[in-house]
Chains A and B, each alone.
Chain A
Amino acid sequence: MNQTASSPAVAPLLRADNLGISYASSAGLPPEPVLTGLNLSMQAGEKVAMIGRSGSGKTTFLHACAGLLPPDTGSPAGSLAGTLEIAGHPLLQLNEQARTRFRRRYIGLVFQQFNLVPTLTVLENLQFVLALNGLPTHSGRPMQLLQQLQLKDKAARFPRELSGGEQQRVAVARALVHEPALVLADEPTGNLDIDNARLVARLLVQSCAEAGSTLLLVTHSSELPAGLDRVLRMQRGRLQSVEA
């Protein structure tokens, strides 16, 4: 079943129309479809979870939203079809530089593996994103976020000196520090114990709500945090159902 998942808002922040993505197979085999005819619309400030089994296409969609897939179709790298527009930017038509600029300004990323820059302290990790965007690094914003995420006393620590839960909370702070329009979280609790997973998930949703950022949370966990507006289910590259 191919289903359009949309909210009745006037100008959606994210709009995917008939989006199809396939990866090239090795040894000249035909491309393998990962997403097929995906339609989705998300309003600004919405908090949406996307669930599904491994290999269902969740992460690929997330990567596409972050501008991490090649734009041109018919290349040996695979093919793209349809439309994907975020904050008015037609992502599939942008070149690499434009997509990088877009990602830097509009997207906040939270990964399963934390992915903090190991050679920067907690505070510097946040400042790096601000500096990339040309924003003042010594404003109160990074410390305010760290306080909100209960990390104020860890500001001068390096990532290797933090626990997994703490590292993921830093990643959440980093994703929000430049007030992005859309926060993309890819299995953010996958590497954490239950308590830390709950804490991080709660803080993620809460912080996005406070910052007014839209959240797309990809997970295969059945335990979802409170405060989500919608839950989308992916199966074999298609959106199968929408749960309120």
Chain B
Amino acid sequence: MNWQLWRLRGLMSWRWFRSNRLQLLLALTGVITGVAAVVAVDAARQAVASSFSSGMLALQGRASHTVTATGSASISLQQYAQLRQQAGNLPLAPLSAFRLRHVDGDLLQVQAVDLISELQWAQLEDNDSATDTGAALTQIADSDMADWLAGAPLVLVSENLLERVEAGMLKVFTPASASLQPPAQPPDDTGATLALRVAGSLSAAAAPDDTVIMEQSLAARLRGSEAIDQVRLALTTQQAQSLTGQLPDGLQLQPVERGDSGMSAAFALNLQAMGLLALLMGVLLVYSTFRLLLLQREAQNRLRHLLGEQQAQHWLEMLLEALLLGVLGALFGWLAGLLLADLVLNWLQQTLSDLFSSTGFAARAMGWRSASLAALTGVGSSLLAILPMLTRWWRGRRAGRQQHRFFLAQTLDLRVALALLLLLVAALLLWLQTSLLAALAALFAVTMAWLLLSQRLLMLLARALHALSSMRTPLLALASARLRDAIPKMTPALAALILALATIVGVSSMISSFRNSVIDWLQITLSAPVYLSNDGQTMPAELLQQIDRQPLVAATGWLHALPARLSTSPDDDMQLLLLDLPARGQDSYRMLDGVSVWTDQQADQRKQPGSDANPAIAVMAGETLARRQSLQVGQTLMLQVAGQTRRVSIVGVFQDYSAGSGRLIARRTHWPDAPALPTSLAVYLDQDQVETFRDWLQRRLDPASAVRMISAERVKAETLRIFDQTFLLTRALRWILALVAMVGVSGALLALQLERRQELRLLHQLGLSGGEQRRLLLFEALFLAILAMLQALPLGYLLGWLLTEIINLRAFGWHIDLTVLASHWLLMIAVALLAGLLAAGMAMLANRQQTPAGHGLV
């Protein structure tokens, strides 16, 4: 090792950075912003995903299996005792769920638990939410255990119920079935209401809204039954198999199904795509930073080569420098990214208390994932920036300008060839593969191809712009010429801006398209102004009769949901909806293919006397189900419903954005042995009579009744509220990308101006005034924004189309029409212009330091 040589090399690097502090700052800022974008998007994505998952865990815990009674019965105490005996030391915890009505009229979800089992169970949990529940229960065990076990009206409530707690009490209607006896009955109970003492609260992550947790014994007395709804178990596959054979009669063991709603899954997928685009943008920004840094030092490096320094030694030095700066930038970028994510999440938490749980900064900062991503982006992209020069050294083995031009020409051709190859790959992936992964890969390939073509396209656009501006003023012509010359150096930074702008257009289009489709669907589907349901049970017959007699009600629609399975796919759960709708409700399904069961003439003919003795029943399939099972109009299937197998014929496919596993719809009158009562009821009345009807209904409902009324307007508003909340993070992350791209491009432009300051000084010496210089820089930056915009627009719509029409369809089986809105254009134009102005402002600021004389005449 030639230490003297390395000492001198170190001195050269150190002094270069010391005398070019702004360049160093820009380089570090470039790496930091690039890394921060990747880390922020990923950390926010992870935090929200873990929040959703915590929410699921709060509902289901760590249970791998549940034991329930077969049929619709509950587990008796005798069965539970037998189960405990069979299970031995296996961890299990009983759970009963029922509803209580708050004195305000709202229904509360009650979860009844066994304190002792639950405390043991809590030790199994290692997630934040479970620890929260465990801690609250432990607190009770320490202070109020005797009261709790004695069945005192002691409860834990979800955070949102705290505002309804008065003097430590939560007031509910006492169910008619309750058998509360002194001393459990508090002295302030009056008539039909009961005050429950609140012993603690559970955060939004630990318990969903409107949740009340109480001891089994209290629950038994409130319900008038000691039966248990389900028993949760944490089992291995072997333990589950072993226990299945030993279960007491009348009990069944089922694995816990974990799954997000369709909307959450769409959201997660969307964030994944955003993460992918952010990674690409981060890499581009870091790459651009180092390319500019290397270009700035090219003259000095060339001189050293003239003095006899081998290029390999030189690149090694550059590599070490890139490594050092990359590590430093990655470290600060990591911290900046986490801070950025924290800011976004805090803002989200303040905006949405019911969707996102608190995930502390420290928890995210500890993640190896974000640290690895930061290192990969920062250091990996820095090293990547050296690669073209290494390639040049490896392949060229020549010196001089001619060789350089030759290499450049070759590189450009290689880029175009690679871009065309990627487009071909994307087309093949979309054509031959129907998987979601293939669609995501195609999205990545198309984006990469477009970015690889960006230098060629930018040059074409810049030439056109120059031709146009040359006809105007000399200053515009000079600005466009300078920009045209800068494009080869600016391409990576411009590509990052193009990507950010395209992401804004693409993701906005996707969200708008999705939202508009959901609005349309709700508008069509919710034909009645009021809907009634009974928690999955059939509606009380007496109430139905009363509703039919109610003069406000013009008509009612009848719906009964039954679990069903196709004979060909017995593992695929779905729902069969038996409907009996009045004429005005029969148009509430938008048909994508075929006809609806109400307009299917053959179905009516089949019902005529003398027709086929065992006719296929006409059904229409939801789009999700139709795509998943490849169902076609005209196809006949065997359907297992309520222990019987029926032959059904698909007459149409309807648009269906509802969550769940998929739905088939048949007319109740065509279904043999249809249940006598519905599980839901659509009530048709005048819109302005909804509140009057609600009051009328409220007076007729038992306080313990699970019958709920919801207006169509409320359903629409709630659906859109959840939709907007769900995609709020996506919108926020879009802005992070835009902000980072703006800073990145401004930095790149500033670095370029610094490199060309001698040229600007010359122009100043030739008589260009300060104002003209500023206008020159402004025109350059605005031209740059225009070029980026022109290239981002097609890519943006391509991304929007891929996300909407391909990826959503493959992921969820939902067909969504791409909506193109002028507001997306305006948004993109605003961001691009802002980036241009920021870049111009920074360049002007740097230029202000220069005097015409500078270091003498140039």
Contact = CB atoms under 8 A, between A and B. Distances in A.
A240 B126 CA distance: 91
Interface stretch (A1-9, A11-19, A122-130): A122-130
Contacts of B164: none
Contacts of B311: 96, 100
B300 A76 contact: no
A105 B300 CA distance: 20
A23 B4 contact: no
B308 interface: yes
Contacts of B123: none
A80 to B, nearest CB: 11
A228 interface: no
A78 B396 CA distance: 14
Contact of B8 (A100, A120, A133): A120
Nearest to B19: A119
B402 A23 contact: yes
Contacts of B363: none
Interface string B286-330: 000000000000001001111111111000000000000000000
B697 to A, nearest CB: 85
Interface string B395-412: 011111011001000000
A77 B4 contact: no
B400 A69 contact: yes
Interface in A120-142: 120, 124, 127-134, 137
Contacts of B855: 160
A172 B308 CA distance: 16
B192 interface: no
B11 A68 contact: no
Interface in A84-120: 95-97, 100-101, 103-105, 107, 109, 115, 117-120
A117 B403 contact: no
Given A70-B403, A118-B300, A119-B12, 19 more contacts: A63-B400, A68-B306, A95-B397, A96-B397, A97-B310, A97-B312, A100-B305, A100-B311, A105-B308, A115-B306, A117-B12, A117-B304, A119-B11, A119-B15, A119-B16, A120-B12, A124-B8, A130-B4, A137-B4
Interface residues of A, number: 39
Contacts of B403: 70, 77
A24 interface: yes
A131 B308 contact: no
Contact of B310 (A75, A100, A127, A134): A100
Nearest to A106: B308
A128 B8 contact: yes
B308 A129 contact: yes
21 contacts: A23-B402, A68-B399, A69-B399, A70-B398, A95-B397, A96-B398, A97-B397, A100-B305, A100-B308, A100-B310, A100-B311, A109-B306, A115-B306, A119-B12, A119-B16, A120-B11, A130-B4, A132-B5, A133-B308, A137-B4, A174-B307
Interface of B: 2, 4-5, 8, 11-12, 15-16, 19, 300, 303-312, 396-400, 402-403, 406, 855
B309 A124 contact: no
A66 B304 CA distance: 14
A129 B400 contact: no
A107 B308 CA distance: 9
Contacts of B307: 104, 109, 128-129, 132, 174
A73 B400 CA distance: 15
Given A124-B11, A128-B307, A131-B5, A117 B300 contact: yes
Contacts of B304: 117
A96 B399 contact: yes
A77 B402 contact: yes
Nearest to B312: A97
Contact of B402 (A24, A117, A134): A24
A52 to B, nearest CB: 21
B308 A77 contact: no
B8 A77 contact: no
Interface of A is mostly: mixed
Nearest to B16: A119
Q: Which 5 A-B pairs have the closest CB atoms?
A: A104-B308, A70-B398, A96-B397, A119-B15, A131-B5
Contacts of B400: 63, 68-70, 77
Interface in A55-79: 63, 66, 68-71, 75-78
A210 to B, nearest CB: 22
Nearest to A72: B398
B605 to A, nearest CB: 78
Contact of B303 (A69, A76, A117, A124): A117
B309 to A, nearest CB: 6
Interface centre among A97, A128, A134, A160 (most CB of B within 10 A): A128
Nearest to B396: A96
Nearest to B20: A119
B4 A127 contact: yes
Interface centre among A66, A77, A95 (most CB of B within 10 A): A77
Interface centre among B16, B311, B398 (most CB of A within 10 A): B398
A89 to B, nearest CB: 14
Nearest to B17: A119
A131 B2 contact: yes
Contacts of B2: 131, 134
Contacts of B399: 68-70, 96
Nearest to A102: B308
A101 B406 contact: no
A35 to B, nearest CB: 15
Contacts of B15: 119-120
Nearest to A134: B2
B309 A100 contact: yes
B853 to A, nearest CB: 15
Contact of B309 (A120, A127, A132): A132
Contact of A103 (B303, B308, B396, B398): B308
A45 to B, nearest CB: 22
Nearest to B409: A76
A182 B308 CA distance: 14
A124 B304 CA distance: 13
Contacts of A117: 12, 300, 303-304
Interface centre among B15, B16, B303, B308 (most CB of A within 10 A): B308
B645 to A, nearest CB: 76
A75 B403 CA distance: 9
Nearest to A128: B8
A96 B400 CA distance: 12
A131 B402 contact: no
A127 B8 contact: yes
Contacts of B312: 97
B397 A115 contact: no
A145 to B, nearest CB: 16
Interface in A127-169: 127-134, 137, 160
Contacts of A78: 402
Nearest to A99: B399
A160 B856 CA distance: 12
Contacts of A100: 305, 308-311
A119 B402 CA distance: 28
Contacts of B398: 69-71, 75, 77, 96
Nearest to B15: A119
A69 B16 CA distance: 29
Contacts of A101: 308, 310
A134 B6 CA distance: 11
A182 to B, nearest CB: 13
A142 B19 CA distance: 26
Interface centre among A97, A100, A115 (most CB of B within 10 A): A100
B638 to A, nearest CB: 72
A77 B406 contact: yes
Contacts of A109: 306-307
Contacts of A128: 5, 8, 307
A234 to B, nearest CB: 20
B308 A132 contact: yes
Contacts of B11: 119-120, 124
B5 to A, nearest CB: 4
A118 B310 CA distance: 19
